[in-house]
């Protein structure tokens, strides 16, 4: 099984979450490729059966607009039938960015593992455990 954990992180919070998601996948006996958004492209999608995407809320509760959003928009149409997990950190708002992201993923026909996992600011031990669980849920999906 091939799984990618693709993320963008400005402060390191979402990177910590990505590492924990990958650790959860590893606990199920699968190795995940951890890839930053600038290294993932349309050509990458076909290489993976499952993909976990991580991006924090930025600006007015949106995906990071310089690297992550352009990458995600370019691969979005290729996600039909793919098993996907979403995660990210936020510092303000009520999670609108995650709800919108979940809707986009469902609209393109992807199969979503649970619901998007949001962590306020820096992830603590419980948050990282939730990230590991998300990784395991993606493996089981």
Give tens-digit pLDDT for 74-89.
999 999 999 999 999 9
Question: Binning pLDDT at 50, 70 and 90, where does residue 60 land?
Answer: confident
* All structural domains of the chain: 3-140 (3.40.50.360)
Residue 64: partners with Cβ closer than 8 Å, 6 or more residues away = 8, 10, 37, 55, 56, 58
Q: At what angle do helices 125-140 and 13-27 cross, to 10 degrees?
A: 50
Residue entry with tokens 């963008």: 8
Interval 61-75 mean pLDDT: 97
Task: Give the global pTM.
Answer: 0.97
3-class secondary-structure state, position 93? coil
Per cent of the chain over pLDDT 90 is: 96
Distance (Å, whole) CA 34 – CA 80: 21
């Amino acid at each position: 099984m091939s799984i990618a954990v693709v993320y963008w992180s400005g402060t390191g919070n979402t990177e910590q979450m990505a590492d924990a998601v990958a650790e959860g996948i590893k606990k199920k006996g699968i190795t995940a490729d951890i890839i930053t958004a600038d290294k993932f492209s349309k050509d990458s999608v076909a290489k993976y059966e499952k993909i976990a995407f991580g991006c924090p809320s930025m600006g007015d509760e949106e995906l990071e607009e310089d690297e992550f959003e352009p990458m995600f928009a370019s691969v979005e149409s290729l996600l039909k039938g793919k098993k996907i997990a979403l995660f990210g950190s936020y510092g303000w708002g009520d999670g609108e960015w995650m709800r919108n992201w979940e809707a986009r993923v469902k609209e393109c026909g992807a199969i979503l593992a649970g619901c998007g996992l949001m962590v306020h600011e820096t992830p603590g031990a419980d948050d990282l455990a939730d990230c590991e669980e998300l990784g395991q849920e993606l493996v089981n999906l």
